[in-house]
Amino acid sequence: MITNQVNNIVELIQQQIKDIVEKSIKVAEQKGELPQIEIPEIVIEKPREQQYGEFSTNVAMQITKQAKQPPRKIAEIIIGNAATEGTYVEKIDCAGPGFINFYLNNQWLYDSLKLITEMKEQYGEITIGKGTKVMVEFVSANPTGPLHMGNARGGALGDCIASVLEKAGYDVTREFYVNDAGNQIQKFGISLEARYIQQLKGEDAILFPEDGYQGEDIIEHAKAYIAEYGDALLLKESEERRSILAQYALPKNIERIRDGLQQYGISYDVWFSEKSLYDSKEVERTISELKEKGYTVESEDAIWLNGEKLGLEKNEVLVRNNGFPTYMAADIAYHRDKFVGRKFDWVINLWGADHHGHVGRMKAAMIPFGIEPDKLQVVLFQLVRLYRNGEIARMSKRTGKSISLTDLLDEVGKDAARFFFNMKASGSHLDFDLDLAVKQSNENPVFYVQYAHARICSMLAKLEEEGIPMPEVSKVDLSLLKEKEELELIKKLAELPEEIRISASTLEPSRLTRYVMDVAGGFHSFYSACSVKNAEEELRMARIELAMCTKTVIRNVLSILKISSPERM
């Protein structure tokens, strides 16, 4: 049944079932048992209850009106005409109000194990992306200070979304947009200047701007500059002084951000500079194009994006009355470049939920350039609350400052951080329990999963030590695996490609985190119910094969999440 084309057995079976149903309906039409039916999209689902088989469909209920017969009757007719030869389907019956339930023979499970053994680290890879060029832009933190918890969640989410899309066959580019131009860089310079003067001439020498960056890191930059270059800037014009200080500190901050993300397991394909959009006149060009196409209005000495024409609630300023473009203008130019300049077919942005107001505007702003707005997709994630000792934690234990990504990594480590941020759907609020993340106990799901992997490794090592030969899949009789725990575990393993498919299409890698917890649980149950070492030789071989496949699946999922798979714990 396995061919090189098949990499998702669950999908294959669902297709088989759809074919069975469609053909059966056609046959029934010919026999006159059913009138001509416009067959709807056949939905195959997994029944909650084991007793209802592996898959079920509700077509009989969907076509009740067309068939002019009660659903159970229709189901009986479909079952009566179903041809299951050459498929994994063993039995079909009808239950409840008219569900058609499909029971499979175990061969699909054994074939899945063979598939895992053949594909190894590639198991789980599918081709639904068909090489589509997709960009995932995430974190894109302001380089005016350290990375915070929002960046940490966005980083874990964005990176894992990118990985999942790669597994699903997309051509993925990870990008960081560096906001190295515009207002906040001005503010950065003003803040640095104030700290610089305060360092040299005392706290009261200059009033620190109310909307300046308050962080300690600004003071540290000022001190570092003075240590390196002294007080010569005091003699310069303010504007030049600010610019020099900003240009001094900015690269340092970007470097720190890069290092922090590297520690976190994230590396980007592209670091895209906002400033480059000004330097290349791309912002200007974008604004004139909007103007030419009639999407702008001018009033109060400013140039506005015509919101009404784009179905928006209000107009948005593109060029201020002082002649400087807004962030919005630069962002439109940036996204135009993603599609028009760099030819991405699909662009995914990860933004904190506080930016949700910006989503509709940006998508609409693509229309003037002939870009389908839905090609720009924004994944919003809710913000993070840290808990320590059962209370909201705002400050770092070590530094006393607000908790940065680096602090988090120091405190809980990369594995726990990435696991926890990917445990919940992006849209749900996240309470991050710092105590739990480092707890080495069964309360901590990271350890639960990693322990399953370590347990397999150690078991296999022990068997090898005792001189027990490792199996060759072609010689193993997998059909010996028929204990409940064995079958449950294999079923889980067989679902990986389907889990990847769903995670990719919903952009929810959290699904995989929960999946790998299930796999680990399945293994632990198998482990305590079925002895490998003490099984009769043939069975032992099959069980070793199952354990090795489990190891492969856990590794593959953890590697998507960029979490380590320890061999011993």
Interface positions, 394-453, toward RNA (CB under 7 A): 423-425, 427-431, 440-443, 445, 447-448, 451
Enumerate the β-bridge partners of residue 318: none
The DSSP result for 352-371, as a single string, is EGGGHHHHHHHHHTTGGGT-
Query: 125 vs 62, 83, 129, 435, CA distance in Å?
Result: 34, 31, 10, 35
Does 296 engage in binding with RNA (CB under 7 A)?
A: no
Report the Cα–Cα distance between both ends of the chain, in Å, rounded.
Answer: 39
- Per-residue binder mask for RNA (CB under 7 A), 237-276, x = binder: ----------------------------------------
Does 143 engage in binding with RNA (CB under 7 A)?
A: no
Query: 450 vs 266, 349, 411, 517, CA distance in Å?
Result: 21, 31, 19, 9
Q: For residues 31 and 356, which CB has a smaller minimum distance to RNA in the complex?
A: 356
553: helix, strand or coil? helix
Stated as kind and residue range, the H or E segment containing 79 is helix 71-80
Question: Residues 7, 56, 286, 503: which binds RNA (CB under 7 A)?
Answer: 56
Q: Distance between CA 415 and CA 255 in Å, rounded? A: 23
Stretch that binds RNA, among 77-85, 150-158, 532-540, 549-557 (CB under 7 A): 532-540
- Per-residue binder mask for RNA (CB under 7 A), 458-477, x = binder: xx--xx--------------
CA 50, 51, 56, 61 torsion: positive or negative?
Answer: negative
What torsion do the CA atoms of 549, 553, 559, 565 make, to the nearest 10 degrees? -60
Smallest gap, in angstroms, from Cβ of residue 41 to RNA? 8
Strands 89-95 and 99-104, by their bridges, are antiparallel
What torsion do the CA atoms of 47, 52, 54, 59 make, to the nearest 10 degrees? -70
For Cα atoms 483, 487, 490, give the angle at the middle one, nearest 5 degrees: 140
Question: Residues 510, 552, 556, 565: which binds RNA (CB under 7 A)?
Answer: 510
Smallest gap, in angstroms, from Cβ of residue 443 to RNA? 4
Q: For residues 162 and 512, which CB has a smaller minimum distance to RNA in the complex?
A: 512
For Cα atoms 354, 139, 352, give the angle at the middle one, nearest 5 degrees: 15
- Per-residue binder mask for RNA (CB under 7 A), 307-336, x = binder: ----------x--xxx---xxx--------
Question: Residues 302, 340, 378, 480: which binds RNA (CB under 7 A)?
Answer: 302
Q: For residues 116 and 178, which CB has a smaller minimum distance to RNA in the complex?
A: 178
Question: Residues 62, 253, 404, 503: which binds RNA (CB under 7 A)?
Answer: 62
Stretch that binds RNA, among 167-175, 177-185, 197-205, 221-229 (CB under 7 A): 177-185
Cβ atoms < 10 Å from Cβ of 475: 9
Question: Residues 15, 107, 263, 531: which binds RNA (CB under 7 A)?
Answer: 531
Smallest gap, in angstroms, from Cβ of residue 524 to RNA? 3
Helices (H) and strands (E) in the chain, counts: 20, 15
Smallest gap, in angstroms, from Cβ of residue 507 to RNA? 12
* Residues 345 to 364 in contact with RNA, rule: CB under 7 A: 353-358
Does 58 engage in binding with RNA (CB under 7 A)?
A: yes
Smallest gap, in angstroms, from Cβ of residue 74 to RNA? 12
Two tokens, residue 28: 């029934």
Smallest gap, in angstroms, from Cβ of residue 49 to RNA? 6
Smallest gap, in angstroms, from Cβ of residue 560 to RNA? 18
Q: For residues 31 and 429, which CB has a smaller minimum distance to RNA in the complex?
A: 429
Q: For residues 115 and 449, which CB has a smaller minimum distance to RNA in the complex?
A: 449
Does 132 engage in binding with RNA (CB under 7 A)?
A: no
What torsion do the CA atoms of 142, 146, 148, 151 make, to the nearest 10 degrees? 50
Smallest gap, in angstroms, from Cβ of residue 149 to RNA? 13
Smallest gap, in angstroms, from Cβ of residue 297 to RNA? 12
Burial class for 352, CB neighbours closer than 10 Å (0-12, 13-18, 19+): middle
Two tokens, residue 301: 């000495």
Site size toward RNA, by CB under 7 A: 78
Smallest gap, in angstroms, from Cβ of residue 410 to RNA? 19
Question: Residues 10, 532, 549, 561: which binds RNA (CB under 7 A)?
Answer: 532
Strands 133-137 and 99-104, by their bridges, are unpaired
318: helix, strand or coil? strand
Q: For residues 225 and 432, which CB has a smaller minimum distance to RNA in the complex?
A: 432
Smallest gap, in angstroms, from Cβ of residue 125 to RNA? 22
